[in-house]
């Protein structure tokens, strides 16, 4: 992962949290498995350990990670499901809203949007098989 250090991007600690969420979604970390420490993350991404800790704490607050005192952070039982529900409710709905709004501005009919989404879906599914 490459962190975006530009001023207009998401804060680095949010990017760290989102990256770890994606790792959990892709099952690179399983339930009750230890994740990277704040120091490992800091070294991996050349950031301050306090920034990495802030990203980890976001995930603790969401119930995605839990702390074992002296041992580190671990993935909760329902972490993947929590992430998927949150991303669907927040990110996906926002993206669809923006798509529909832009289509409205461009006078694109609903049928055309649906057709394009179906085409993109097939393209994505075809790309996974390669």
Other Cβ atoms closer than 10 A to 47:
20
What pLDDT is recorded for position 49? Answer: 97
- The pLDDT tens digits along the chain (130 residues) read 656 655 557 899 999 999 999 999 999 999 999 999 999 999 999 999 999 999 999 999 999 999 999 999 999 999 999 999 999 988 888 899 999 999 999 999 999 999 999 999 999 998 765 4
Radius of gyration of the chain (CA): 18
How far is 62 from 14, CA to CA, in rounded Å?
A: 13
pLDDT of residue 8: 57
pLDDT at 11: 95
Nearest to 55 by CA among 43, 41, 69: 41
């Amino acid at each position: 992962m490459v962190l975006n250090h530009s001023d207009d991007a998401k804060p680095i600690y949010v990017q760290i949290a989102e990256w770890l969420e994606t790792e959990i979604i892709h099952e690179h970390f399983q339930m009750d498995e230890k994740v990277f420490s704040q120091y490992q993350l800091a070294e991996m991404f050349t950031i301050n350990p306090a920034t990495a800790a802030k990203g980890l704490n976001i995930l603790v607050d969401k119930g995605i990670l839990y702390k074992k005192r002296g041992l580190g952070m671990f993935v909760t039982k329902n972490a993947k499901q929590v992430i998927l529900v949150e991303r669907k409710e927040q990110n996906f709905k926002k993206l669809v809203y923006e798509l529909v709004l832009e289509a409205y501005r461009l006078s694109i009919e609903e049928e055309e949007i649906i057709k394009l989404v179906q085409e993109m879906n097939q393209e994505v599914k075809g790309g996974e098989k390669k």
